[in-house]
Structure 1
Amino acid sequence: MNRLLSLLLSGAAGAVPLAAAALWLGAASPAQAQQAQRPQALGTFQDWTAATHQEGKQKVCYAFARAENRQAAILTVTHRPQGRDQVALRAGHSYPRNAEVTVTVGSTELDFYTAQDNAFAREGAKAVAAFRAGAQAVAKGPGAQGRGTTSDTFSLSGFTAAYEAISKECPAGRR
C-alpha cells in the first residue's frame, strides 16, 4: 500500500475501509463509494498530501493534512467539476446539530457549518487564500457529544504546493 493510502486510511482508531474514505471524500452513496477508484497520489508536500480519484466518470482532486495534536482530525480542500475550493474539516467525532466551527489563520477567522462529523467552510475561496498566506490553521468547535471545546492545529507548510498540484490536475472549467 503506498504512503498516500496509508495516510488516508490510517487513523487513531485503526484502518478505515476504502468505501468509507470514498464516502467522506464525496461519493454520494455506498454503491458509488465501492465504484470509486483507489486514490492516486499527486505528491506529498511537507505536511500536505495531494491526490486524485474517480467518482464515476469525474475526476476529483484533493489536498489534505492531519491535525498536529489529533490524527483523527483532517483538513481537506477538494476540486470537483461542479465546484472548486470545497474546504472541509473532519473532526473525528460528531458535532451537535447546528454547531458552528471557527478556523483561524493568522488574524483571519473563517466560519464553518457542521453536518455530523464534518464542518464545511462557508467561503471556500476565502479559506484557500488564508491557507496560502498562513503558517497554521486552528480549528475550534464543540467537543465529542457537545462537551467542551476541541481545538485542532493544522500546519499549512506545503499547502500552496499541494493546492497548485490539485489545481493543475483538475483545472477550472473542466468537465
Structure 2
Amino acid sequence: MMSRLFRAIGTLSASAMIAAAATSAAAQEASNRVAAETDWSVFQETDPVECFGVSAPKSQLNTKDGKPVTVNRGETLLFVFYRPAQGVNGQVTFTGGYPFASGSTVTLEVGGNDFQLFTEGDWAWPATPQDDAKIVAAMKRGAEAVVTGMSGRGTQTKDTFSLLGFTAAVDEASSRCTS
C-alpha cells in the first residue's frame, strides 16, 4: 500500500505538469520532446531528470448503459516513465481525462492479456514495478493496447492505443534516463 502511495505521488506531481502539454500542438515543437517514434513521442525533463514515452489513443468509445454517449474528457494519455532519482524504471501510467469511479480499477488489455491498474483521481497505474515490467514486455510484443475504465459518473470508457513505435520510444526514454 505504501509503495502504491509513493508511486502515486511521483506520478501525480511530474505527470500533472506535463500531461496537458504532451499531445498539444505546442508540445510537438517543445524543447523537451527529444524523439518521435511513429505513434509514440519521447520527452526528457532535466529538473528533476525524467524521461517518458507517451501516446494518445487512436480511438475512444464512451458508453453508458451499453449505449454510446458523448462526454467531455480531458487529455487521455498512456505513459511509460523513467525517473532515475526515484528508482523508477519503466512505470506505466494512464490518465483517462476524467476522475475514475472511487475504488475502481482500469483494465489494460494487450495481445489477449489483461492487466489491472489501480486508480486515484484521474490516474491509473499497476500495483508493482514487476507488473510494470510485464505490461511493458507485452506492449513491446503487441500491436495495440486497449484501456477500459469507469468514470465517477458511470460512463465506461474504452481507449485504443497503437503500439507502433512503442518499443523504440521506451528504449529511447530508458537509454536517456536509466539509473
Identity %: 29
CA distance in 2 between partners of 1:53 and 1:26 (Å): 13
Partner of residue 119, structure 2: 114
Identify which of 124, 138, 145 aligns with 1:137. Answer: 145
Does the Cα contact within 8 Å between 2:101 and 2:154 map onto a contact in 1? no
Does the Cα contact within 8 Å between 1:87 and 1:124 map onto a contact in 2? yes
Does the Cα contact within 8 Å between 2:105 and 2:116 map onto a contact in 1? yes
- How far residue 111 of structure 1 moved from its aligned partner, in angstroms, is 0.9
Identify which of 81, 88, 104 aligns with 1:83. Answer: 88
CA distance in 2 between partners of 1:93 and 1:39 (Å): 28
How many equivalent residue pairs? 138
CA distance in 2 between partners of 1:88 and 1:45 (Å): 19
CA distance in 2 between partners of 1:48 and 1:128 (Å): 14
Which secondary structure state, in structure 1, belongs to the residue aligned with residue 139 of structure 2? helix
CA distance in 1 between partners of 2:81 and 2:171 (Å): 12
TM-score under structure 1 normalisation?
A: 0.73
Structure 2: segments with no counterpart, 5+ residues: 1-11, 18-29, 61-73
Partner of residue 160, structure 1: 167
Show structure 1 runs of 4+ deviating over 3 A: none
Name the structure where helix makes up a greater proportion of residues. 2
Which secondary structure state, in structure 1, belongs to the residue aligned with residue 33 of structure 2? strand
Identify which of 55, 64, 67 aligns with 1:65. Answer: 55
- What one-letter code is carried by the residue in structure 1 that aligns with 2:174? S
- How far residue 48 of structure 1 moved from its aligned partner, in angstroms, is 0.1
Cα 1:39/1:60, change in 2 over 3 Å: farther
Which secondary structure state, in structure 2, belongs to the residue aligned with residue 125 of structure 1? helix
Does the Cα contact within 8 Å between 2:117 and 2:125 map onto a contact in 1? yes
Partner of residue 11, structure 1: none
CA distance in 1 between partners of 2:122 and 2:149 (Å): 11
CA distance in 2 between partners of 1:134 and 1:39 (Å): 30
- How far residue 39 of structure 1 moved from its aligned partner, in angstroms, is 5.7
Q: Quick check: 1:148 aligned with 2:138? A: no
Which secondary structure state, in structure 2, belongs to the residue aligned with residue 97 of structure 1? coil
Structure 1: segments with no counterpart, 5+ residues: 1-21, 28-37
Structure with larger RCO (C-alpha < 8 A, sep 6+):
2
Which secondary structure state, in structure 2, belongs to the residue aligned with residue 25 of structure 1? helix
- What one-letter code is carried by the residue in structure 2 that aligns with 1:62? F
Does the Cα contact within 8 Å between 1:39 and 1:53 map onto a contact in 2? no
Instruction: Please provide the CA RMSD for this pair.
Output: 1.9
- How far residue 121 of structure 1 moved from its aligned partner, in angstroms, is 1.9
CA distance in 2 between partners of 1:24 and 1:114 (Å): 17
